[in-house]
Structures are given as structure tokens and as C-alpha cells.
Amino acid sequence: MLKAGVKAPDFRLQDKDGNLVSLSDFKNKKVVLYFYPKDSTPGCTKQACSFRDNFDTFKSKDMVVIGISKDSVKSHERFAQKNELPFILLSDPDLDAIKAYDVWQEKKLYGKLGFGVIRTTYIIDENGIIEKAYDKVKADKNVGEILEYIG
């Protein structure tokens, strides 16, 4: 996991509509960048819906919310539509951003060791520097922690 104080790696990935989106597109804005394991799973849906339910608060603070997983553009489109997600979801099937942010790690799932995305959230400041990093976050607690931090 990357630590606070370092430059956030830029990326260029497709959103749910197939448009290319880069972190650098959001210069002069704070970005909540969250990495999650998989669309439409219970924990990931809970986390995404919590961002949805608090989206107006982030927007009122001029913050952009971006979720990244290795799921396909089509999967993101279905996930966003089904759950009425108003924020950006980016597809990273080649793990470019996922690895750049050091969230592709060995983990245990159902008693088996394997590699996967470690649920991680970064707050990136207006200059592209990681201001705050949350690792191994709990899907149902993450947004509350961020809201408490940003006041």
C-alpha cells in the first residue's frame, strides 16, 4: 500500500461507458480513490452503496469519487445501473493501477491463499499527493471513516 505524502500514480482506464479517464483529469480537486475486489459481491455492493448514499456530501466538498476493480467495463455498467451509482467506476483488467497503488496482494479467501485486490481507499489532494490512506478497510465502515476525516 502506498503511504500518505507520496505522489499518487496517474492512470488511464476505461469507465463504465468506455471513456478513458485519468487521475490527472481531476487536477485541483480532491479525489476519493477506492479499490475493491469485485462488482456485485455483498461487501463491495455495501461499500459502493454507502458512497452513493453520501455522494452529495462528497460533491458539496468538491471531491470526486472513483472506484477501481479488475472487472470489465460491461460488469461496471451493470453494477452501476443496478445500484444507481452516480460516481466513476474504472475497469483495470490488466491491473495497471491496482499494482501501481500496491493493492494486489496475497490474501486468504475461503481458506485458500491467492492473489487479489486488498480493499483500500486513498484521499488524494488537489496537487495529486496522497493525503490519507486506508488499508484493509471494512466495507461497511469505510465511508463513515472518510466523512469523519473530511469533517
- Which positions are annotated as active-site residues? 44
DSSP 71-136: S-HHHHHHHHHHHT--SEEEE-TT-HHHHHTT-EEEEEETTEEEEEE--EEEEE-TTSBEEEEE-S
Contact 28, 126 (CB under 8 A): yes
- Residues 79 and 100: their CA atoms lie apart, in Å, by 24
